[in-house]
Amino acid sequence: MSHQALWSGRFKEPLSAIALSFSSSIDLDKQLYQEDIAGSIAHVEMLSATRILTAAEGRRIRTALKVIQKEIETGKLKLGDEYEDVHLAIEQRLIQKVGAIGGKLHTGRSRNDQVALDERLYLRTAVKEIGKLLAQLQRVLLYKAEKHFGALMPGYTHLQRAQPIMVSHHLLAYISMLERDYDRLNDCLKRMNKSPLGAAALAGTSFPIDRHKVARKLHFDGIVENSIDAVSDRDYLIEFVSACSLIMMHLSRLAEEMVLWSSKEFGFVQISDAYTTGSSIMPQKKNPDMAELVRGKTGRVYGALVNLLTILKALPLAYNRDMQEDKMPMFDVVSTTRQCLFIVSHILIHTKFDRQRMEEELRNDFLTATEIADYLVRKGVPFRDAHAITGKIVSHCIDHRMYLGNLDIETLHTFSREFDPDIFDYMLPHKSVEQKQSAGSTSPNEVKKQIVHWTRVLKGRRAL
């Protein structure tokens, strides 16, 4: 059953059922009911404080709004698709409850500033929750980095074995990535946390409203000054979604490494049974589906970013109904990012690292070839010559189906007279790691410093 729309005065015909069903957004925006009611309460309190409404009118509306919130929460008021959107549904219910006075709530306000307010409130909460989930994942990574301190693994470039690194160092790289995500979210919060309410449709209002008072009541840092900008702007949402896209990109890389590392080919980790699935046909299979889904869901978030940028592209000022289409990507990004951060923390905590296997792989290869070149450099050989000599040694090993560890000093002397028996020390993976001197490197000292740093940073941060 359709209600008579609150805006129907100038219309001779009601909105067709087809048009209503096409244009209604309530199915999605009903998720904003708390924000909508909080915004309305702040607005009505300001209306009575500025004597635009009487104190008694303000109180009645405020009380009724709180009852409506309960009605929604208990399921007594169904936000069904006979309404155009959550804003009209709540206002309609208010008028039903308190009569014509309810119609005074919308004084000096429009749905255009109302919806922008609701979104900013909703996203502000989302930023805080995602911030906590980021901190939670950083803590899991830190825990694993501490636990496996001392363990070595092959580091890769081009997905080819490059140099030995500390497992902790690799995990700490993700903590740094997630920290930038955290900073980005907090940075976009600065611009998001401004109140658009009181911009009304676009031009402001002739009532002596106090926009700053509403902003303070809702804990905003101020107001969006220009009323036209206040109702046209969706930058805060696009910035948020772009920050989430980077989070998802980082998670997809971690998820991909989980997929690769848990394969037989790598065998570096074992994800617990509880976070993997079997095959309906191949009895031996144990698939890393959760990690794969994180990788896959990244596409949804990127899609949402492009979706939003495209909705806003070339849109004339100020409000246009196109903007209603921002709801689907907004809600989807918030829930997808939250779910993925949450599951990745769980996958990781339930993953065992096979230290022995990782270190085995270090021995049977050429990962310390750079150390041989550096050794020669320290003996005065120019780096380019040292690189060429070492390349020849590697090529020799490949031809003779052997690794660096199988070489003897006589053979090495055929490549350079600079080699002394201590060269064999330098070829040891743990020696290679310990040799590193530069800041932020994979040496145990530098890695330890990072662990200490992140322990301090994360200590003061709220996680879930």
Contacting residues toward ligand ARG, per CB under 6 A:
25, 29, 85, 111-112, 115, 319, 321, 323-324
Q: Closer to ligand ARG by CB, 108 or 154: give it.
A: 108
Instruction: Report in angstroms how near the CB of residue 112 gets to ligand ARG at its nearest.
Output: 5
Find the distance separating the first CA and the last CA of the chain, reported in whole Å: 43
Which CB sits closer to ligand ARG, 316 or 380? 316
Q: Which residues pair with 103 in a beta bridge?
A: none
| Shortest reach from residue 203's CB to ligand ARG, in Å | 13
Comparison of 25 and 307: residue with beta carbon closer to ligand ARG: 25
- Rounded distance between C-alpha atoms, residue 113 and residue 204, angstroms: 10
- Give whichever of 115 and 247 is closer to ligand ARG, judged by the CB atom: 115
Q: How far is the CB of 332 from ligand ARG (least distance, A)?
A: 15
From residue 277, give the alpha-carbon distance in Å to each of 261, 287, 290, 350: 16, 5, 8, 14
Instruction: Write out the two tokens for 160.
Output: 């080819």
Detail the DSSP E strand segments found in 117-205.
Answer: 152-157, 160-166
Radius of gyration of the CA atoms of the chain, in A: 30
Q: What are phi and psi of 270, to 5 degrees?
A: -125, 115
Q: How far is the CB of 24 from ligand ARG (least distance, A)?
A: 9
Q: Which residues pair with 156 in a beta bridge?
A: 161
What six digits make up the tokens of 374? 């550096």
Of the candidates 279, 395, 413, 453, the residue annotated as catalytic is 279
Smaller CB distance to ligand ARG: residue 252 or 324?
324
As measured in angstroms, the least distance from the Cβ of 39 to ligand ARG is 13
Instruction: Kindly state the smallest distance separating residue 95's Cβ from ligand ARG, in Å.
Output: 18
Q: Angle 181-184-188 (CA atoms, 0-180°, nearest 5)?
A: 140
Instruction: Clarify whether 279 is annotated catalytic.
Output: yes
| Of 324 and 416, CB closest to ligand ARG | 324
| Cα separations in angstroms, 233 against 180, 206, 387 | 25, 22, 56
Cα–Cα dist 63/41, whole Å: 9
Is 48 one of the annotated active-site residues of the chain?
no
The per-residue b/e assignment along 222-247, b for 16 or more CB within 10 angstroms, e otherwise, is ebbeebbebbbbbebbbbbbbbbbbb
Report the distance separating Cα 48 and Cα 54, nearest Å.
Answer: 5
Which of 381, 74, 41 is CA-nearest to residue 217?
A: 41
Least Cβ distance, residue 7 to ligand ARG (angstroms): 8
For residues 10 and 249, what is the distance between their CA atoms, to the nearest angstrom? 50
Residue 2 is classified by DSSP as: P
DSSP 195: B
Give the integer Cα–Cα distance in Å for 192 and 279.
Answer: 46
Query: Between 85 and 374, whose beta carbon lies closer to ligand ARG?
Result: 85
Instruction: Give catalytic residue positions.
Output: 158, 279
